[in-house]
């Protein structure tokens, strides 16, 4: 199985992306290093790079604000309120890793698709992962950490 070599990010659902980014900057000194809108997932997101990792990547906080009421993050907020939405592990081969994890009986939620900063991602069913919605991430490129 392709190895999982880092905590890639922690995804945090929020109602107001800009206010939450300000909170992380003012409280901890964490800066937004990337923003984008993912239409497919229905979110506006901000990536805050926290540290580099010894696989040549980096660990981020990912702040997520829904852009429509039927997005998964909007439903999460309606049910659970603001807080940690998912965690993500980095691998060099998300398709291979997802196939191997699937063979272990964990439900993989869809084929690899585009995530933050051009990465390839998929998700694992939280009911198969001890209540933790878990994302698998293959970065778009190596030299600059995550991206």
Three-state secondary structure call for residue 37: strand
Q: Which is nearer to a second copy, 52 or 118 (CB)?
A: 52
Q: How far apart are CA 57 and CA 4, in angstroms?
A: 12
Closest approach, Cβ 36 to a second copy, in A, equals 20
Q: Which of residues 17-76 bind a second copy (CB under 8 A)?
A: 20, 23, 26-30, 50-55, 59, 61
Residue 28, classed as helix, strand or coil, is helix
| Residues sharing a CB contact under 8 Å with residue 88, sequence separation 6 or more, in sequence order | 7, 8, 9, 10, 11, 62, 121, 134, 135, 136, 137
Q: Does 96 engage in binding with a second copy (CB under 8 A)?
A: no
Which chain residues interact with a second copy by CB under 8 A?
1, 3-7, 10, 12, 14, 20, 23, 26-30, 50-55, 59, 61, 81-84, 87, 89, 101, 104, 106, 126, 129-132
């Amino acid at each position: 199985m392709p190895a999982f070599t880092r905590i890639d990010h922690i995804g945090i659902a929020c109602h107001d992306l800009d206010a939450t980014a300000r909170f992380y900057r003012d409280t901890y000194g964490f800066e937004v290093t990337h923003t984008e809108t993912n239409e497919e997932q229905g979110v506006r997101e901000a990536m805050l790079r926290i540290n580099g990792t010894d696989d040549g990547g980096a660990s981020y906080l990912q702040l997520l604000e829904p852009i429509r009421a039927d997005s998964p993050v909007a439903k999460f907020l309606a049910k659970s309120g603001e807080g940690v939405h998912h965690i993500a592990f980095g691998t060099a081969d998300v398709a291979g890793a997802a196939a191997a994890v699937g063979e272990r009986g964990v439900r993989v939620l869809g084929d690899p698709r585009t995530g933050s900063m051009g990465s390839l991602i998929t998700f694992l069913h939280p009911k198969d992962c001890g209540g933790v919605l878990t994302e698998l991430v293959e970065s778009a490129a190596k030299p600059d950490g995550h991206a």
